[in-house]
A and B are shown apart, each in its own frame.
Chain A
Amino acid sequence: DARVTQTPRHKVTEMGQEVTMRCQPILGHNTVFWYRQTMMQGLELLAYFRNRAPLDDSGMPKDRFSAEMPDATLATLKIQPSEPRDSAVYFCASGLVRREGTGELFFGEGSRLTVL
């Protein structure tokens, strides 16, 4: 049963610390998304990769956030330094975008980040 795997599921850290979240997309998918979910803002797109190339990271605070795909099986989202306002659930999703349109996105179960 193919699924998107995210680690860690929960992370509590102190302000100023570096946080790295990892995502293993479904094998064969050509797109990977990072979303952030908060009560106030709902779901926000942070970054988007197609075929491992970053296509859109306009939703990401550039000074502290970075997203990479070192290989097809791993996507990372790093926050350095972390701040309390970064507390949220971070979702990774993968999918297969074909010429005829966007197919289904498969979401991981999220990484719940708490920055004290």
Chain B
Amino acid sequence: AQSVTQLDSHVSVSEGTPVLLRCNYSSSYSPSLFWYVQHPNKGLQLLLKYTSAATLVKGINGFEAEFKKSETSFHLTKPSAHMSDAAEYFCVVSRNNAGNMLTFGGGTRLMVKP
């Protein structure tokens, strides 16, 4: 069994300040982990993914995430928020070699204040 918990349903930051979106997972298998972003009225877009290579993963738009097995965490960070980062972010865990075993977190809505 696997599950994903996004610890904050809403996060609000000021433009230019750091972003931290938290994600904890549980998995009986060696997981792949993803972060997706969803802008209003759009589909989900992949930000980054971890697939058992480097534990620090860099994604698009300046985002990165660190896989910490001991903490079962995969938090998403960005050094400096931009207004265009305002969106919903989903942490996803996938059981390797099983494309249907994707489990989505509940999502975190990021608000960026000017």
Contact present for B32 and A101 (CB under 8 Å): yes
Number of chain B interface residues as a range? 20 to 34
Contact present for B102 and A107 (CB under 8 Å): no
Stretch at the interface among A14-22, A43-51, A66-74, A76-84: A43-51
Determine the main DSSP class of A at the interface with B. strand
- Could you name 27 residue pairs across A and B whose Cβ atoms are closer than 8 Å? A4-B43, A31-B99, A33-B100, A33-B102, A43-B104, A45-B100, A45-B102, A48-B99, A50-B99, A55-B100, A56-B100, A91-B43, A91-B44, A100-B97, A101-B32, A101-B51, A101-B94, A101-B96, A102-B32, A102-B94, A102-B97, A102-B98, A102-B99, A105-B44, A105-B46, A109-B43, A110-B43
**Interface hits, A74-116 → B, CB 8 Å:** 91, 93, 95, 97, 99-102, 104-110
As a 0/1 sequence over residues 76 to 108 of chain B, the CB contacts with chain A under 8 angstroms (1 = contact) are 000000000000001000101111101010110
Contact present for B99 and A97 (CB under 8 Å): yes
Collect the chain A residues with CB atoms within 8 Å of residue B43's CB. Answer: 4, 91, 93, 107-110
A61 close to chain B: CB less than 8 A: no
A interface residues, how many (CB within 8 angstroms): 25
Collect the chain B residues with CB atoms within 8 Å of residue A110's CB. Answer: 41-43
Q: Least Cβ distance of B6 to chain A in Å?
A: 10
Collect the chain B residues with CB atoms within 8 Å of residue A93's CB. Answer: 43-44
Q: Least Cβ distance of A52 to chain B in Å?
A: 14
Option from A56, A91, A104, A107 in Cβ contact (under 8 Å) with B49: A104
Nearest B residue to A96, CB-CB: B99
Q: Least Cβ distance of B35 to chain A in Å?
A: 11
Q: Least Cβ distance of B98 to chain A in Å?
A: 7
Collect the chain A residues with CB atoms within 8 Å of residue B104's CB. Answer: 42-43
> Which 9 pairs between the two chains have the least Cβ-Cβ distance?
A107-B43, A97-B99, A101-B96, A48-B100, A107-B44, A43-B104, A102-B94, A102-B99, A104-B46
